[in-house]
A and B are shown apart, each in its own frame.
Chain A
Amino acid sequence: MKQHELAPPISEAQARALRVGDTVVLQGTLFGIRDATQIALFDRGRTTRFDLSGHALLHTAPNVRKVPASPEHPTGYAPVCVGTTTSARMERFTRPLMAQCGARLIVGKGGMGSASLAAFRELGGAYLAVIGGTAALETAWIDAIEDVDLDDLHPESLWRFRVHDFGPLRVAMDSHGGSIYAAVDAQARSRRDQALAALGVKAR
């Protein structure tokens, strides 16, 4: 179990160095994406002026406050609450995010499936788990909303955050086929009969 500190953009080698069970703390740039952002990019042919190559993408749609633009709040948005949403809904976008945009790390909660795991393995990436529903802590790791694109999709815009000590995040899926979620799911399903027996139900 290693502890990594990463300041994206990172290389494929850096992504492949991450193993399930390791922890990661992110510094610097973190992008925020959501369902509508990825539908716009991959289903509707829209493009972004951001270069996501080598970057970490957080599954989020933040609560923000409109403020006068300033060096502290260059976009005119101050973060009110930045948390993490359920990643599994966005399963089909992991591969295009990596293959077309060069993303390396997905930061989310609840885990992703076999298509994402295959993309991490083939293209060199990893899934970093936030503890979902702990946004009061997470917001404190955000220094500023540096930039925003596709803001007509607000709050599901493409956000560029500047973060400090973002984590520790758990490496929950890696580029070597490891997935905590798959392991926990397999174990839980192996206990189904036992749970049904405790309920007096004959397993079917």
Chain B
Amino acid sequence: MRIDARTIEEAAKELYIRALKILPDDVKRGFDALAARESSATAKDVLGTMITNIAVAERSDSLLCQDTGIPIYNVTIGRGVDFRAEDGTALKEAIRRGCERATREHPLRSSIVHPLTRRNEQTSCGIGVPVVHLDVAQDVDGLRIEMIPKGSGSENNSWLRMALPAEGVDAIKAFVVDCVLDAGGRTCPPTIVGVGVGGTADLCVHLAKRAATRALGTHCADAHGAKLEDELTQAVNMLGIGPQGLGGDATAFAVHVELAATHITMNPVAVNMQCHSARRASATITAGGVSYGF
């Protein structure tokens, strides 16, 4: 299968709109699980409002949240894709056109400005935005595009600490707890707390973003990382920050960890959070057509 720019453009447009309207099933299940074990009456009420909002948005074809986010497209080139040198540029341009069209045609609020002039071109695009990541995978059939409209309330709660090897795993654990404390209600809890451990500084932050935007119920592929996820999920939910920072048990759906090897002198840890409107959508493009999911 060759890459068809028009199909990509259409999918990029459709994905942005779908992601803003339909919350993934795993996040809906996450809400049900939190509501079932919440002990605070206020928090139960807040969670109930959030759950109602999800149903109303879906029923009335409305946006879940006003924040259209920073558009991120994660593209995976899988089996059966005849990907040639010139296709990379064509694909990125097609995604940008789709993103612009979603903004104009739906219409959506353009949340993107030049970082120095703060000028908003009203296109949801700018230098380096939409963010497009290209990757390859053998276990994916066709071309997969995952779209994440990353909300700023949660994105503004991002941290990196280049801890020392002598500080050990304790530094990683304490850092995550302190980030959750500092975020309080500003990050629209309950959140998915994404933790990157290891790598270089930039890779560590990227891992944290991948962790924050991973489906609920999935686990770190590394056994040590998966154990750390469970421990941290329990610990941050002892703090009582609760939904919207108004108090309660449901501070985080989960803490997700992603790992990379690091240097003998380094012990980096990054935190990136995803708000309760943990939006994402995906399209799989094969010779048979386009299918949408999460």
Contact = CB atoms under 8 A, between A and B. Distances in A.
Contact of A83 (B56, B67, B235, B243): B67
Interface string B206-248: 0000000000000000000000000110111011111111110
A154 B185 CA distance: 27
Interface stretch (A48-56, A96-104, A196-204): A196-204
Interface string B129-173: 000000000000000000000011100100000000000001001
Interface residues of A, number: 55
B50 A181 contact: no
A81 B53 CA distance: 12
Contacts of A111: 184-186, 245
B37 interface: no
Interface string A75-95: 000001111111011000000
A170 B276 CA distance: 19
A184 interface: yes
Nearest to B251: A188
B63 A80 contact: yes
Contact of A63 (B63, B241, B246, B276): B63
A200 B110 CA distance: 45
Contacts of A86: 152-153, 156, 186-188
A67 B120 CA distance: 21
Given A129-B244, A133-B277, A196 B174 contact: yes
A184 B109 contact: no
Interface in B21-69: 46, 49-50, 52-53, 56-57, 60, 62-68
A88 B244 CA distance: 13
Given A111-B245, A170-B246, A187-B240, A196 B63 contact: no
B246 A85 contact: no
Contacts of B64: 133, 135-136
A196 B185 contact: no
Nearest to A62: B66
Interface string A11-27: 00000000000000000
Contacts of A46: none
B142 to A, nearest CB: 32
Interface in A158-204: 170, 172, 180-181, 183-185, 187-189, 191-192, 194-196, 198-202, 204
B189 to A, nearest CB: 9
19 contacts: A81-B109, A109-B244, A110-B244, A133-B50, A133-B153, A133-B276, A134-B49, A137-B49, A137-B56, A155-B109, A180-B246, A180-B247, A181-B245, A183-B247, A184-B247, A188-B241, A192-B177, A195-B238, A199-B174
Given A133-B65, A198-B231, 5 more contacts: A131-B53, A133-B64, A136-B63, A196-B177, A198-B238
Interface of B: 46, 49-50, 52-53, 56-57, 60, 62-68, 106-111, 118, 120, 122, 151-153, 156, 170, 173-174, 177-178, 181, 184-188, 231-232, 234-236, 238-247, 275-277
8 tightest A-B CB contacts, nearest first: A83-B66, A134-B53, A136-B57, A81-B63, A63-B109, A110-B186, A133-B277, A136-B62
